[in-house]
A and B are shown apart, each in its own frame.
Chain A
Amino acid sequence: MRIEVHLHPPFTQVVGTRTLPVELPDGASLLDLIERLRMDYPNLFPSLRSPEREEEVRSFAIFVGGGEVLPLSYKLREGEVIEIYPPLSGGVVPKLVQKTRRLIC
C-alpha cells in the first residue's frame, strides 16, 4: 500500500521535501513506517534508540493522522496522510532508573 507522509520543519530540511510517498506492505503499522523512514533517512531521528517505545518516540517526533496523535500500533491504511511534527517532550529511559537506583541503594 502507498501512504503519504507530510513533513513539517525541521524534518523537511533532512528529507528535502514537504511531501513524501511511502510504499509499505499491507497491514503495516506506524512503527513499520518509522523503521522504514529511519532506514531511508538515517538523519531524520538520529538520536532515537528505541523506536518500539512509545514515550521515547514522542521525544523525537509526533505522528499525527486526522488531527490526532497516533500510537505506534496504529494500522495504516491505503492512501492515508501521516503528518510528522516536532516533538512535544522527552521520554522514559528504564536503564537510567535502574542505574540510579543501584547507585543509591
Chain B
Amino acid sequence: MNAGYMGKVLFVDLTRRKTWTEPLSEAWARRFIGGSGLGARYLVELSDPGVDPLGPENPLIFMNGPWTATPIPLSGRHEVVAKSPLTGIYGEADAGGHWGTALKKAGYDGVIILGASEEPVYLWIHEEGVEIRDASHLWGLDTYVVDETLRAETAKTAVTCAIGPAGENLVKIAAVMHDGRDARPAARCGLGAVMGAKKLKAIVAMGNRRPPIHDRDGLMASIKAAVPEIKRLAESLSKYGTSGRMTTIEALGDLPIRNWVQGAWKEGAERISGQRMAETILKKQYFCGACVIGCGRDVEITQGPYAGVQGAGPEYEALACLGALTVVDDLEALAYATELCNRLGLDVISTGGVIAFAIECAERGLLPAKVDGIELRWGSPEVVLALIKQIAHRQGLGALLAEGVRKASEDIGGLALEFAIHAKGLELPAHDPRAYNSLAVGYATSNRGACHLQGFSYIFERAVTLPELGYPEIQDRFGVEGKGRFVAVTQDLMCLFDSLKTCKFILFGGIKPTHLLAWFNLVNGWGWDLDRFMEAGERIFNLKRLYNVACGISRKDDTIAPRILTQRRGEGGAATNLPPFGEILSQYYEHRGWSPEGIPTEETVRRLGLEEEAGKLRAKAVMKV
C-alpha cells in the first residue's frame, strides 16, 4: 500500500454483529485521497441516494486522511460521512482532537458502520482486534461521562467518540462528539442521529502504529522550516482562540445578530470576545493532534450560577450562534450552554439557529410567547439553556426544533418560512454573506448545505492570498467580477484539506497550496504537480454534487434564505451590501462545467474521470437527469 495509508478499512455490520477488514483501494486513494473524498466514494459504493438516512442501509463512515497520524502540523483530524437526516442529501462533518489519530494508530484508514443494532452497543478498536460490546449501561449518559466510563473499561489512554442523548433521541441536529471533556465535535448535518439510529453509543480507539512515509527526512526538514512561521503568524489565534476575532467580525458586519436582522452589537461582541475570555474563565489552550497553534479553549468556572463548567470552552461559532444570534452577551452562560451542547451531543451552530428562529416565531405570534413555562425572548440565557435541554430530549418545544429550522418552519407555516435561515436545510454558520459576496454562492452550492468551511472563501477576502491559484492580492469582499470562479477554486482547495486531513487554520500560519503539495509528495511519493492536485479537489467536489443530483438536487435548491439575499443589515460594517447572487451563481456554473440547471455535464464528468461513479448514481437516482 502507498505511504501515508495503513492500507485497510474496518467494516462493522451491526445487524449481523460481524466485523472484517478490506484493503483500501489504491485506485480510489489516488482519485479521492482520503477523509471526505474517500468517505464520499464509499458512500456512493455502499448505498443508494434514496435511502432513509436513519435506516440501517445508510452507512456511517469514519475516514482518516493520508496525513492523519503523521507529523504534518494540524493533521489530527478525520471526517464522518453519511447521508444526512437533517438535509436529506450528502452529509459530512470534520472533527479534530485525537480520535482519528488513535483509529489510524490502531491500524485503520477508516471504519465503516453498516446495518443497525437492536440493543445499544459500543466498539472497542485496538491493534489486536475489534470488539462489539454491550452499551446498555451507557444509554442516556452524556458524552463526558461516557468517555470517563469507557476509558475505565478499556484503557486510560484510549480515545472516545460518542453520541449524547440528542443522538440517541434521533435529534436531526445531533453531533458525533470526540475526546470526552475536550469535546471535539463532528457537528454538522445531524450525523449523531445516524449513529443513534444504529444504537451505536460510542467507538473507543487506541494504538501505537504509524503510517509509512515516503521521505521522512525531507518531510521533517520541511516541517521544521515551517513551524516557527506558523506559530509567529498565528500568534493571536493561539492566544485568544477563534473568538479573539469576535470584535473585528462584528465591526466588519460579518456577525449574525438577532436571527440575522440586527447590523451592529459592539458592546455585546466585546463582552463575549476571546480577549474577555482570556481575562476571565480561560484556563489553558487546547491542542488537537499534531497542532502547533492551539486555538482550542479550555475553561473553568468556579463560582456563580454556572460554577462547575470545566473543559472545552466555547469557540467563535458557539458564541456567535448561541450568543449573538439570540442576543445573549453573558460569557459564562454561553460557556455553560456550550458544555450542555457538548455533553448532550448537539451542533452548536444549528442549535443556536433553531433557538433564534423560535424566539422570532414567538415575537411574531407564530409560537406562544410562553412555551412550557419559558418566556421566549431575546437576550435571555435562561431561554437558550432551557431550549438546549428540550431539544436534546425532544421535550416540549424541543420536539419541533429538533428537526432543524427548515422542517420546523414548514410545520409552523406562514411567515415562519421567511426567517428560517438555512441553505438546503442546514442552518447558516456565523459568517454573513452580506459581508462577503463569495459566501452567498458558497453557502448555496456547498454540498452539505450552508457551510463556511466548505469554501472558506471569506478569509481570502479579508486577509489571506492564494498566489499560486491566481489570487496574489486579498480579494475585494464586495466584488463581483470573477467571483464565481473564485468560489469554485476555494471549494476545490478545501476538498483537499478535508481529504488529506489537516486543519484549514494552517492557512493563518502562512501555509499555501505549494506547501500542501510539497508535503503531499513527501508523504506518499506520487510526484504530483499543482494542477493534478487541484483537479483531485475538483473531482471530490463534483462526486458529492453527483450524489446530491441523484438525491434530486439542482439549481432550484442552490440558494439561501431570502432574508440574507434581500434584507440589508442597515448599520455597522456591511450596512448596505447585498450579494449579487444570480450573477455570481451563473459564473460559478459556467466555471464548474455544469449545465444552467446546475448538473455536471457529461464532458465535466469525463474530464474528471467520474464516469463510473456517475453511472452508478444515475442508475440509483431519485431524480432522473
Residues of A participating in the B interface, judged by any CB pair closer than 8 Å: 8-10, 47, 49, 54-56, 58-60, 62, 64, 67-69, 83, 85-93, 96-97, 99-101, 103-104
A92 to B251, CA, bound (A): 24
**B37: interface (CB < 8 Å):** no
User: Which residues from chain A contact B625 at a C-beta distance below 8 Å?
Assistant: none
A85 to B266, CA, bound (A): 12
A103 to B253, CA, bound (A): 42
A104 to chain B, nearest CB (A): 5
- A to B CB contacts below 8 Å, 24 in the list: A9-B270, A9-B276, A47-B232, A47-B235, A54-B473, A54-B474, A55-B474, A56-B233, A58-B463, A62-B463, A67-B572, A67-B573, A69-B252, A86-B236, A89-B237, A89-B507, A90-B237, A90-B510, A92-B465, A92-B467, A96-B229, A96-B515, A100-B225, A104-B218
Max chain B Cβ within 10 angstroms of own Cβ: one of A49, A58, A96: A96
B247, closest chain A residue (CB): A8
A64 to B464, CA, bound (A): 17
Asked whether A97 lies within 8 Å of B247 as measured between CB atoms, the reply is no
**B522: interface (CB < 8 Å):** yes
Contact check: which of B247, B251, B515, B574 meets A100 at CB < 8 Å?
B515
Given A69-B252, A90-B234, are A9 and B275 neighbors across the interface (CB < 8 Å)? yes
Asked whether B514 lies within 8 Å of A86 as measured between CB atoms, the reply is no
**B509: interface (CB < 8 Å):** yes
B208 to chain A, nearest CB (A): 29
**B518: interface (CB < 8 Å):** yes
Contact check: which of B225, B248, B270, B574 meets A96 at CB < 8 Å?
B225
Asked whether B221 lies within 8 Å of A91 as measured between CB atoms, the reply is no
User: Which residues from chain B contact A47 at a C-beta distance below 8 Å?
Assistant: 232-233, 235
A67 to B274, CA, bound (A): 21
Contact check: which of B218, B240, B249, B465 meets A55 at CB < 8 Å?
B465
Asked whether B575 lies within 8 Å of A86 as measured between CB atoms, the reply is no
A87 to B521, CA, bound (A): 32
User: Which residues from chain B contact A101 at a C-beta distance below 8 Å?
Assistant: 514, 518
User: Which residues from chain B contact A99 at a C-beta distance below 8 Å?
Assistant: 225
Asked whether B218 lies within 8 Å of A103 as measured between CB atoms, the reply is yes
Asked whether B226 lies within 8 Å of A89 as measured between CB atoms, the reply is no
Given A58-B474, A67-B573, A88-B245, are A103 and B225 neighbors across the interface (CB < 8 Å)? yes
**B273: interface (CB < 8 Å):** yes
B421 to chain A, nearest CB (A): 23
User: Which residues from chain B contact A85 at a C-beta distance below 8 Å?
Assistant: 247-248, 251
B458, closest chain A residue (CB): A88
Residues of B participating in the A interface, judged by any CB pair closer than 8 Å: 218, 221-222, 225-226, 229-230, 232-237, 239-240, 244-245, 247-249, 251-253, 270, 273-276, 278, 459, 462-465, 467, 473-474, 507-510, 512, 514-515, 518, 521-522, 572-575
Contact check: which of A67, A86, A88 meets B462 at CB < 8 Å?
A88
User: Which residues from chain A contact B270 at a C-beta distance below 8 Å?
Assistant: 8-9
A20 to B276, CA, bound (A): 22
A67 to B273, CA, bound (A): 19
Asked whether A87 lies within 8 Å of B474 as measured between CB atoms, the reply is no
A24 to chain B, nearest CB (A): 23
Given A88-B245, A90-B509, are A104 and B222 neighbors across the interface (CB < 8 Å)? yes
User: Which residues from chain A contact B248 at a C-beta distance below 8 Å?
Assistant: 8, 62, 64, 85-88
Asked whether A58 lies within 8 Å of B462 as measured between CB atoms, the reply is yes
A62 to B462, CA, bound (A): 9
With A86-B245, A89-B459 known, 7 other A-B pairs at CB within 8 A are A67-B253, A69-B462, A86-B248, A87-B463, A88-B463, A90-B507, A91-B510
Asked whether A90 lies within 8 Å of B233 as measured between CB atoms, the reply is yes
Given A58-B463, A88-B463, are A97 and B515 neighbors across the interface (CB < 8 Å)? yes
A1 to B225, CA, bound (A): 44
B213 to chain A, nearest CB (A): 14
A89 to B273, CA, bound (A): 16
Given A59-B233, A59-B508, A83-B251, are A88 and B225 neighbors across the interface (CB < 8 Å)? no
User: Which residues from chain A contact B463 at a C-beta distance below 8 Å?
Assistant: 55, 58-59, 62, 87-91
A54 to B249, CA, bound (A): 19
B453 to chain A, nearest CB (A): 14
Asked whether A64 lies within 8 Å of B512 as measured between CB atoms, the reply is no
B461, closest chain A residue (CB): A69
The 10 A-B pairs of least Cβ separation, nearest first, read A90-B508, A90-B233, A85-B248, A58-B463, A9-B275, A89-B463, A67-B573, A93-B510, A89-B508, A59-B233
Asked whether A93 lies within 8 Å of B229 as measured between CB atoms, the reply is yes
Given A91-B463, A96-B510, are A86 and B252 neighbors across the interface (CB < 8 Å)? no
Contact check: which of A55, A64, A104 meets B522 at CB < 8 Å?
A104
Asked whether B512 lies within 8 Å of A60 as measured between CB atoms, the reply is no
A24 to B308, CA, bound (A): 51
User: Which residues from chain A contact B221 at a C-beta distance below 8 Å?
Assistant: 103
B504 to chain A, nearest CB (A): 10
Asked whether B508 lies within 8 Å of A67 as measured between CB atoms, the reply is no
User: Which residues from chain A contact B245 at a C-beta distance below 8 Å?
Assistant: 86-88
